[in-house]
Structures are given as structure tokens and as C-alpha cells.
Structure 1
Amino acid sequence: MSFSFFKPSRAKPSPPELSRALKESFLALDAKAVVEVKALEKALEDVDKSFFAMRQMLCGDGEIEAIPEQVLQLAQEICKEDTISLFVHKLPMLGWEARKDLAHCWGILLRQTVGSSYCCVDYIENHSELLDFLVVCYNNKDVALTCGNLLRECIKYPVLAKYVLESTSFELFFKYVELPSFDIASDALATFKDLLTKHPTEVSQFLKVHYEQFFGLYEKLLTSTNYVTRRQSLKLLSEFLLETPNTQVMKRFILEAQYLKVMMGLLKDPSKNIQISAFHIFKVFVANPNKPSEIIAILAKNHDKLLMLLDNLPTSKGGEDEELEEERDLVIREIEKLSHLPIAS
């Protein structure tokens, strides 16, 4: 297909024309001719041109603002022609400019509505393999950051976040957050965090059903040899575990002796930040009025070591953090009470 309509002398393409151009430029990447270097370069150049035109239609060109009716029509056409699937599946083949334009346009496309329905979100919901593909693309260092960007836009919508949480590919995030590339690991952690915090109701339902499997994997992050992993996963745990919809999950968590031991171990961490974060979860175990006998026994048996750790718990300079000090004192008093209880042999 000729891209003559991209020339300034010609009128700009209509949404249906641009949608066809986008699709044809992607399909050209599948043509047998692309085995030749020059043919591949030409095909990628056409993709770049069509993406640039899409960005102009969706965002304006600096002089003329985007026309909402055209933006919506283009989103509908892209879904109708299955071009949105090509955006995702061909992502590893795209050049830097095309990936940048796609990331810029993706959120705009997802926000387009007809009545109460998001047309592109509905499309992705019905083609959920696209979400799995984006998750797996974290393994491709060239496109990992773009995939993360697209995923986080998808996760803004509860129905798509729920799918990722419940998919088999979700477990990959426990590996991704410890990838050797700091940038990719950090990006994966940002996506992981959004999955566990953006939609508390959906997260709560997920955790209730997958409690043992999820926390079994999460414990490995909390005890990782990587400082950043330990710190960030502990901080994230506090964020989603203490959410009101997760009250039942938290109540179950603080009955588990193995997780109490994990928090006790983190209280000994060389990092002051980790010690404080661990304390904020540890205190819930101690404050629980319905502590099971196993929890009581562990706290009583280790009371000397725990009191020493709590006495040395770092607080802000000059005792500015009065709330932390008050909570620490309350926990100390509770542990002292438990130390006088007989411990079952």
C-alpha cells in the first residue's frame, strides 16, 4: 500500500484509512519479502509512518488538537480489524520510535468508550492471550519496559487486572522482580505493585482463593538475599495486607507461625528501613487478641531476644516519631506479659 497520504500536500487520512494502513503495514512484516534486509527496513519504515500518523490523530500535532470523534472511531476500527492484536504480537519486531509511539497512544485507545463500554478494553478481555503475551515479554530485554508500560495501562481496568492475577503467567512476576537488570526488575515490581494495590476488592478475592500458593511464593521474596527485593516486597506487603478489604486475609496471615518467624528474622536485618517495616507487620501478630498457642509460645520463648531487638529499633532523630515509639512500647509490654506464661514443652 502506498503511504502517499502522509505527505503534507495531501489531506490527512480518515480513521478507517489509517486503520487499514496500520494493519497493512504490520501484515507486510509477515510477507516473505522481509527476509531481505532492505524489504524489512521498508516494512518497518512504513510501520513507523503509520504509528506517527496514529499518534497525530490521537494526540494532535501541536497546532491542531485531536478530534474526539476521530479518536473514538480509530479505536473502534483498530478493534474491528484486529489490529490491536498485531500491536502486541509484533511488538518485539518494532523499532524504538514505533514502540515509543505505541506506548504513548495505548492508554488513549483504552480510554475510548461507547456508552459505558470501553471498546479496546472489551477487545482485550475477549483476547486475553494478549495480556499473557505482554507478561512473558518481560523476558525480552529489548521490549520489557514497553510491555510493562502497556500492562500497567491495562491493569487500570479491574476486569483486565483480575485476569492477570488469576492467570498462570502471574507467577512469573515472582521471578521478574529479581531479574539481574535493575531497570527491568524495577519495572516488573511497579507492575506487580499495581496488580496488588489498584483494585483491593479483586485482590482480596484472589488472595482468599490462592492464599497458600501466593504467600508461599511471597515468602521467598521476603527472605531473598537481594536487599532491594526484601525491602520492596516487605513494603508492598504492608500496603496490600493492611487494606480494609484484606482484613480476613490479614487475620489468617497473623495466625501463621512461619510468617511470624519471617518477621522476626527481618527485625534482625542490617537495614534500619527493613527493621521498621518488619515491625509494622510484627506488631499485628503481637497485638492480635486471638493469638494461637503456637504464636504465644514462640513469642514467649524468644522474649529476651525480641525485647533486645525492639529496644534497639531505630527511630527518627530526637524521638520525633512518637507514634512509632508508643507502638514499640506497647508491643514490648505485651511480650513481657507473655514471658511470664508457662511454655508448653
Structure 2
Amino acid sequence: MSFSFFKVSRPKTPPELAKSIKESLMALDTKTVAEVKALEKALEEVEKNFVTMRTMLSGDGESEPNLDQVSQLVEEICKEDVLTLVIHKLPALEWQARKDLVHCWSILLKHTVDSKYCCVEYIEQHIELLDFLVVCYDNKDIALSCGLMLRDCIKFTTLAKYILESASFVLFFKFVELPNFDVASDAFSTFKDLLTKHGDVVSEFLTAHYDEFFDQYEKLLTSSNYVTRRQSLKLLSEFLLESPNSKIMKQYILEVRFLKVIMTLLRDSSKNIQLSAFHIFKVFVANPNKPREIKIILGKNKEKLLELLHNLSPGKGSEDEQFEEEKEFIIKEIERVSMYIQS
């Protein structure tokens, strides 16, 4: 007598799971209202598949993932073009499926098979997928998921380099000022990673695109949005003062128009912005090779600048003493330059 009332389903193998994910994602193509039920069923199937993928990649909480299975799944996902599908179908996915996907995405990118990052190599061969992820910031429903996925990509030099040099990079100057605060903040996090994670790549990019980049960046520094001004000023001091960008910084501090922008920020109503502006302003003033035009502006604005600087204080803290020493040096340098101009 056999009992087959409770048939236990056999777990999917990595090739079966990859194929099942592909089929369920392709089933999301239904467009007519009559096919709503089919679409709901496909979304359910996608969600179930993503849960299975998540468990296979990161374990079930009780047991660790089987690394051989993980490697096999990574290879199959690339072979079956699943990465292309998951990115293009992002707008159709529901919240939980996107959450599971973002979790899996990070593991997929980091996993190596025979010392090769298979998924990273796949994206390098289908590089337009990165442009799609960037453009998704325009869709507030999926923007945060795409942001997380982009930042995982940016950890890899080749992918970060592509985004920086792509036509879609300029969109970040718009996305960081989107009216939705969460989306704008997330876009700024991605923008920051692009400009700080790979020093040599950033230096190469800024050297090749100096004028276009800083023309756009000036708009962020002079934005009417307080958060944009504060974040972009802080970020500017971070990447400009990085050693790989020393040539860029030397070029930047020779330009009168940028000095004027920083001097305007020194007068901002926000103390935080004033202090951040000071850290860039001091580089202009301390530069031993200041052009005559820079000296003239410092001399002409001597009284206002000295008044501003005397009233500027970081508050209590360990950096207070160093700040006062720097401020004292800058004040003396402005006075010295002013005397030179008058003579």
C-alpha cells in the first residue's frame, strides 16, 4: 500500500531555477486587460522564484548556501540572459520581488566562478543595462531599488568608469534635485560613490571633461535648494582634496569664477555651509601661485572677508584649535595680498 497524498516537491536545481526565473519574467509581457489574471499569476511566479533564488544564494537562516549551487546558478543566470530580463522588468515587479532581487543582486555581482566575476563580465558585455538603471531614477516607484543596484555596480572599476563616461551621467545633476526628497538623496548617494570610490578613474574623467563637469557642478553649488548646496559643497571638498585629483584642484583654484562661488557660500545663512566653504576657500588663499586676478578679488573684498572670518567658528570640539590656526593664517594671507595689490 503506498501513500502518495503528500507529494513533496523536489527543490529546483540551479539550471531549472534560472530557466524558471527567465520564463516567469518573460510572462510579464501581458499588456491587455483580459490578461490581468495571467499577469497576476506571472507576478506570483516571479516572487516565488526570487524567494527560491534568495535562499539558494544566501541560505535559509539555518543552513549556509551550497557554494557549488551558487556558482552554478550564477553561470546559468548569465547564460540564460536573466540579468537583462530582471533589469528591464524592474518597473513591472512588485515591492517584495524588488526587495528580494536587490538582495540577490549584490551576491550575484560579488560571487566569483574560477576567479571571474561572471555577472560583472556579463554587464560589461551588455553595458546599456547601466544606462537603463540610471534612467530609472525618473520612476520614483523603482528609483530606490535601482539606486542600490547601481551602487553595487559602482564597486567595480570598469562599471563605474562606464557610467562616468556615459551620456546618462549628466542626468545625475538633475536627479539630485528631484522634488521627491528620498529619491534625490538616493541619487546623491550614487553620485557621491561615482566621484569617490575609484580615485584614478575619477581623476582621468575630470581631466577629460573638466569644463563640462564643473559648469554643471557650479549649478549645484548655487542651487536654491539648501540640501543640494550643502551636500554638493561637502562632496566637492571630498573629491577635490583627494591626492589623485591634485592636478584638478590646482586648476580649480586658479579660476576666478569658482572663487566667487565659494565666497558667496562663505556668506550663506547656514553655518554648516559657511564652514564647508571655508575648507575650499582656504585652498584658494593658501595657493602660493595665485593669479593676479585672484589676488585682486581677495584685496577688493578684504574688509567683508575678514569680518566673515573673524565671526566664523566651528563650535566646541577637538578641531577647534586647528581651525583657529588655519583661520589665522588665511586672515594674514588676505592682509598680505591686499597690501601687495595696493602697492
Q: 2:77: which partner in 1?
A: 78
In 2, Cα distance between equivalents of 1:216 and 1:137? 25
Is residue 14 from structure 1 mapped to residue 13 from structure 2 by the alignment? yes
Per-residue CA deviations over 1:238-293 (Å, capped at 9, x if unaligned) read 11000000000000000000000011000000111100100000000000000111
Write the distance in 2 (CA, Å) between the matches of 1:215 and 1:177: 16
Q: Is the 8 A contact 1:283 1:331 kept in 2?
A: yes
Aligned counterpart, 1:134: 133
- Unaligned 5+ residue runs, structure 1? 1-6
In structure 1, give the amino acid aligned to 2:259: L
Matched, 1:116 2:115: yes
Distance (whole Å) between structure 2 residues aligned to residue 31 and residue 220 of structure 1: 43
Quote the Cα distance in structure 2 between the aligned partners of 1:20 and 1:320: 58
- Equivalences for 1:327-338 in 2 at 5 Å? 327-338=326-337
TM-score (norm 1): 0.95
Q: 1:297 to 1:119 in 2, by over 3 A?
A: same
2:285 maps to amino acid: V
Structure 2 CA distance, aligned partners of 1:269 and 1:320?
Answer: 22
Counterpart position of 2:3 = none
- 2:222 and 2:135 map into 1 onto residues whose CA distance is 25
> How many residue pairs are counted as aligned between the two chains?
338
Cross-structure match for 1:291? 290
- 2:283 alignment partner AA: V
Deviations 1:203-224 (A, max 9, x none): 0000000000000000000010
Q: CA RMSD in A?
A: 1.6
Q: Does the C-alpha gap of structure 1 residues 62 and 313 become closer, same or farther in structure 2, counting only changes over 3 Å? A: same
- Relative to structure 1, the CA distance from residue 158 to residue 318 in structure 2 (aligned partners, 3 Å threshold; closer, same or farther) is closer
Q: CA deviation at 1:127?
A: 0.5
- Note the C-alpha offset of 1:9: 1.5
Residue 234 of structure 2 corresponds to 235
Cα distance in structure 2, aligned partners of 1:238 and 1:270: 19
- Residue 128 of structure 1 aligns with an amino acid whose one-letter code is I
Q: 1:225 corresponds to which residue?
A: 224
What's 2:323 paired with?
A: 324
Whether the aligned pair in 2 keeps the contact of 1:301 and 1:343 (CA below 8 Å) is no
Q: Which residue of 2 aligns with 1:269?
A: 268
Deviation at 1:32, TM superposition (A): 6.3
Residue of structure 2 equivalent to 1:4? none
Report the Cα distance in structure 2 between the residues aligned to 1:177 and 1:31, rounded to whole angstroms: 34
Secondary structure, counterpart of 2:131 in structure 1: helix
Give CA deviations for 1:309-329 in whole Å, capped at 9, x if unaligned: 111112313896100010000
The 5 A counterparts of 1:171-320 are: 171-317=170-316
| AA in 1 matched with 2:207 | K
Given that 1:33 and 1:40 are in contact with CA atoms closer than 8 Å, whether structure 2 keeps it comes out as no
> Structure 1 70/257 Cα, relative in aligned 2: closer, same or farther at 3 Å?
same
| Letter matched to residue 263 of structure 2 | M
Using the alignment, how far apart are the partners of 1:136 and 1:9 within structure 2?
A: 44
Asked if 2 retains the 8 angstrom alpha-carbon contact of 1:34 and 1:43, the reply is: no
Q: Distance in 1 between matches of 2:248 and 2:7?
A: 60
Return closer, same or farther for 1:170/1:8 CA change in 2, 3 Å cut-off: farther
Quick check: 1:33–1:39 contact (8 Å CA) kept in 2? no
Contact kept? 1:303, 1:336, Cα under 8 Å? yes
1:59 touches 1:66 (CA, 8 Å); kept in 2?
Answer: yes
Query: Residue 291 of structure 1 aligns to a residue in which SS?
Result: coil
Equivalent residue, structure 2, for 1:39 = 38
Q: Counterpart in 1 of 2:62? A: 63
- 1 CA distance for matches of 2:206 and 2:35? 50
For 1:94 and 1:318, how far apart are their aligned partners in 2? Answer: 49
1:62 Cα offset (Å): 1.8
Per the alignment, do residues 320 and 159 of structure 1 end up closer, same or farther by CA in structure 2, a change over 3 Å counting? closer
Distance in 2, Cα, partners of 1:115 & 1:227: 49
> Using a 3 Å threshold, how does the CA distance of structure 1 residues 318 and 113 change in structure 2: closer, same or farther?
closer
Matches within 5 A, 1:159-178: 159-178=158-177
Give, in angstroms, the shift of residue 28 of structure 1: 1.1
Distance 2:250 2:115 in 1: 37
Quick one: distance in 2 between partners of 1:65 and 1:34?
43
TM-score (norm 2): 0.96
Q: CA deviation at 1:64?
A: 2.2
Per-residue deviation, 1:29? 1.3
The answer (yes or no) to whether the contact 2:30–2:38 under 8 Å persists in 1 is no
2:102 matches 1:91: no
**Hey, which bits of structure 1, 4+ residues long, moved more than 3 A?**
31-35, 317-320
